[in-house]
Structure 1
Amino acid sequence: MISRFLQWTVLALTIGFLIGPFFIIVAAGLSAGESLAFPPQGLSLRWVIKVFQIDSFRDSFLLSMGLAIFGTLAALILGVPIAYALARYKLPFGETLRTIVSAPIIVPGIIVGLALLRYLVVPLNVEVVAALFAAHTALILPYAVRVVSASLSNLRSDIEEAAVLLGASRLGAFFRVVLPNIKSGILAAFILGFVTSFNQVPVSLFLSGPGVRTLPIDMISYLETTYDPSVAALSALLAFLSIAIVFVAERFLGFSRYV
């Protein structure tokens, strides 16, 4: 009895530690007070409504959406062939290539952002949006390669070989046989890349410029001058959006099989 009680206690404390901050942010965003505080000073939707009235939030949201969508698409265009080559062929230094592709995950984001700023943006005078796009694509690429590789590992290679023996070219077999069978993995990689890019902070912090900021960076800048609950309300909305995306992906794609 005591052992079961301890197990449930530890479980409850762990769950509370993990999701407690989320409930605090939601409650703070629904506060009727004038400043960010917990417990909330009454309940109101005024700060949720104000989120949609702040011009900088709208502009940075559109930028973050564009970077997340097109950066993920670019990472998939690069990552799918890389994953296929690593999964189907015994390449020389294959493990080294895997490590290089995974470097943006292994190296802290602050170092990646500083390196891109010092050796890409400044010497080449690259536009801020272009630098952000390149950085987000590079950050998403390892996830695309890993998730698509997991999907390819579940696809028998003899199915593709059968298509080749029946007269299909290697490229035709890829598009007609391989690609349709790994589409769930590609969609899962897109969702993971989208969420990762949209919530990216360290790299975006270094590469943002005057008038060009992603939504997380804009939220940090907003808190430097204003301390009302609108940022908490926006954080809650973004958390609900991320949860909804992951829930739908798990429900229809079996997201957990790939990550």
Structure 2
Amino acid sequence: MIFRALVIAAYGFLLAPAIFVVAIAFSSDRFLTFPPPGLSLRWFATLFEHEQMMAAMQRSAILAAIVTTLSLAIGVPAAYAIARLRFPGRGAIFAALTAPLLLPTLVVGLGILLVFFPYGLAGTWPGLALAHLAVTLPLVVRIMTTAFATLPPDLEDAAATLGATPLKVAFRITLPLALPGLIAAAALSFLISFDEVVISLFIVGPRLSTLPVEMYRYVEGHTDPMVAALAVVLILLSISVVLLVERLVGFTRTVSK
């Protein structure tokens, strides 16, 4: 009973900020006040009429889709090689690919800016994609290495002895078995790229910005609840992605592997 109460208290502590944000998003006041004096949907209407914010949301969605595709295209083969092949330096390569997970994003962002600026990549689509890739690729490699390591190699060997080419084995045996990890890696990669703000602050330019950066700039000069309404939309988006993954493959089961 005591343990259950502690768990409930911990969940309440973690979810308290979101509860306040949701309440403020439906406020009828012009300022960020809690408790709200009344309820209204005016700030959601204002949000969807805000052209700059909607354009930034579209850019972030496109960027996240590109980054997720690149992360899977690079990370899945790398993870398979690390998990299944035996070659010198395998551990060092895995450590190098996952090292950004251990570094503060502020350090990663500053390092990326120092590298990108001489080549004119700052404030460009390729620069943003590569910067986000530095965060999502290690995550994909980590998840897919675990997913491939848990697969029984006997099935691949049996398919190969029956005449299947390595490409057929990969697409008909390996990837279908690793599908839960693949979907979880894609979903987390998309959400992390869509939500990345620290690294984006170093790379964006005046004509190319992402949604988290626009939110950061907006709260610097405005005190209305529109940003809270946007936060509610993002919360619903994240919950929808997690529920979709749970529906398809079981998010909890996949991550626990």
1:234 aligned onto 2:234: no
After superposition, give the CA deviation of every residue in 1:34-61 in whole Å (9 maximum; x if it has no partner). 1111111211000011110111111110
Secondary structure of residue in 1 paired with 2:151:
coil
Q: Which residue number corresponds to residue 46 of structure 1?
A: 42
Pairing 1:1-259 to 2, within 5 Å after superposition: 4=1, 6-120=2-116, 122-126=117-121, 127-259=123-255
Local SS of the residue matching 2:49: coil
Is the 8 Å Cα contact of residues 84 and 149 (structure 2) preserved in structure 1? no
Structure 1 residues 11-54: Cα deviation after superposition (integer angstroms, max 9, x where no partner): 33212101111110000111000111111121100001111011
User: Using the alignment, how far apart are the partners of 1:13 and 1:177 within structure 2?
Assistant: 44
8 A Cα contact 2:180 2:254, kept in partner: no
Instruction: Give 1:125's aligned amino acid.
Output: G
TM-score (norm 2): 0.94
Q: Is the 8 A contact 2:22 2:229 kept in 1?
A: yes
Q: What is the CA distance between 1:241 and its match in structure 2?
A: 1.1
Q: Does 230-239 or 124-133 show the bigger shift?
A: 124-133
Q: Distance in 2 between matches of 1:31 and 1:118?
A: 43
The one-letter code sitting in structure 2 at the alignment partner of 1:57 is M
Structure 1 residue 128: Cα displacement: 2.0
For the residue of structure 1 that corresponds to 2:46, the secondary structure is: helix
- The residue identity in structure 1 corresponding to 2:179 is K
Alignment: residue pair count: 254
Amino acid at match of 2:82: L
Q: Does the Cα contact within 8 Å between 1:150 and 1:258 map onto a contact in 2?
A: no
Instruction: Quote the offset at 1:150 in angstroms.
Output: 2.2
TM-score normalised over the length of structure 1: 0.93
Q: State the Cα deviation string for residues 120-156 of structure 1 (Å, max 9, x = none).
A: 1x11112522111111122111111122222212321
Q: Deviations over 1:151-209 (max 9, x none)?
A: 21232111111111111222332122212222222111110101111111110111111
Q: For 2:204 and 2:161, locate their aligned partners in 1 and report how far apart those are by CA, in whole Å.
A: 52
Residue type matched to 1:186 in 2?
Answer: L
Rounded to whole Å, the distance in 1 between the matches of 2:254 and 2:138 is 13
Deviations 1:68-110 (A, max 9, x none): 1110110000011001101111121222111111122111111
Kindly state the Cα deviation for residue 7 of structure 1 after the two structures are TM-superposed.
4.0
Q: 1:8 to 1:186 in 2, by over 3 A?
A: closer
Give the conservation status (yes or no) of the 8 Å contact 1:75–1:138: no
One-letter amino acid matched to 2:119: L
AA matched with 1:213: S
C-alpha separation in 1, matches of 2:150 and 2:248: 18
